Amino acid sequence: MRVALLVSLLLPGLGVAAEPYVPPAAIEIAGYSEKPLCPRGVEDDPDTEEDESIEPDCPALRGKSLRELSILRNTIFARYGWAGFRKTWLREHFKQQPWFKPNPSFSYKLLSDVDRVNVQAIARHEMSLTYQDLEERRDTLLAKAGKWWGDAPTYEDAKGRDLPSCDPNDFMAADAEQKVIRYEFSEVEKEIVSSKDCTYHRSLASSQPSAPRAPDFKKLEPQERIELGLLSRAMGSFASDDASRGELEKSLDEVLSLKELRELSLRDLRLLRNTLYARRGRPFKSPVLQKHFAHMPWYKADPDYTDARLTKNDQRNVKLIQSVEKELGGALKDEDFLIPNPEHRKDPPDPGFISGA
């Protein structure tokens, strides 16, 4: 018995015992917390039913970008040696961390109770962001990249030219002869307030084109291009968050590639697959999916929906996504989505399903 135990502790072909993986000290890891990030404490049962309509306020996460939240969440897994990040930028990020070392025997059961609560809190916070919030973040970055929406109101100058403007005084001057009195919340001012050009560019000179202008993503830093990809996908589009690519979004009306899909986590894949159904009006029984798509202004659940509404490209993309999900251990269920309890699921071939890697 003692001999068998000794042999089991030895590396194959070597005469030395395998050393157990020791995670780096928490103090060495920026962003890692040994305490709960949000008000909810570890004494709470992670499986307890909550009112999903009420999102806990979490000052530690408030205002963080999707990229920052992703790093924060994945730092918890990286501390225990998870190195299977499929996303290039995440893989490179952790390779550059002096504290990071891969653990061939990684298991998500290594996470402490606090770790699991924090992963869940970050996931809940990500899903609590409204479409409007995501859109404002996206449009701020698009404006920085030089995008013009061409939606600023126009006025007619003395030469009869229609010029865009975000200055109410320009419209007052144009109507001076007609002696039109505009009040504080006039129609023009409402147009200015609702205009993305006026909102995100702050000022609009008459020399600016009134027609839309595409952004130049080269004007953005790599991390900002990554953020744009994450935002677009969170809003129901397909986008790569690989900063080396010039194309931000790819139409879901086109056939997606296996290479692109294999860079997504099982969390990403489940949402993307169901986005294809949601675009055609499919109602969902899953509380996670109901909550996710309820934020999308374009989503309208139709009780008369059938899969016959899916186009041929939709059907091809669903099958492609399902094939990748199968490669990674199988599609997620609601109980796995926020990993409230690691006993819900055995370690799959790719534990990255819980990290969003």
Per-residue pLDDT of the chain (357 residues; tens, 9 = 90+): 444 444 444 444 444 556 789 999 999 999 999 999 987 644 344 444 444 444 557 899 999 999 999 999 999 999 999 988 888 899 999 999 999 999 998 888 889 989 988 988 898 898 889 999 999 999 999 999 999 999 998 888 778 888 888 888 787 765 555 545 555 557 788 888 899 999 998 777 666 767 888 888 889 999 999 999 899 889 988 877 764 444 556 778 888 889 889 888 888 899 999 999 999 999 999 988 998 999 899 999 999 999 999 999 999 999 999 999 998 888 888 776 655 443 344 554 444 444 455
- Residue 330's contacts (CB-CB under 8 Å, 6 or more residues apart) are 348
CB burial class (10 A; 0-12, 13-18, 19+) of residue 287?
A: exposed
pLDDT of the residue at 344 = 42
Tell me if the pTM is above 0.95: no
Paired residues of 259 in beta bridges: none
Q: How far apart are CA 271 and CA 90, in angstroms?
A: 20
Report in angstroms the alpha-carbon separations of 73 from 60, 106, 108. Answer: 13, 16, 13
Supply φ then ψ for residue 344, to 5 degrees: -65, -25
What is the DSSP annotation of 197-223? HHHHHS---TTS-SS-B---GGGS-HH
In b/e form, how buried is each residue of 217-253, taking b as 16+ CB within 10 angstroms?
beebeeebbbbbbbbbbbbbbbbbbbbeeeebebebe
DSSP string, 2-63: HHHHHHHTBPTT-SSBPPPP-PPPGGGSTT--SS-SSS--TTS-TTS---TTSPPP-TTTTT
Q: Which of 341, 336, 350, 267 is nearest to 83 (CA)?
A: 350
Residue 281 to residue 315: CA distance in whole angstroms? 15
Tokens in use for 303? 């009780």
SS3 353: helix
Confirm if 248 and 229 have CB atoms less than 8 A apart: yes
In terms of DSSP H, where are the helices of the chain? 2-8, 66-78, 88-95, 113-128, 131-144, 168-174, 187-194, 196-201, 222-234, 258-261, 266-278, 287-294, 312-327, 334-337
Nearest CA among 39, 223, 47, 205 for reference residue 144: 223
What pLDDT, on a 0 to 100 scale, did the predictor assign at position 31? 92
Q: Please tell me what DSSP assigns to residue 250.
A: E
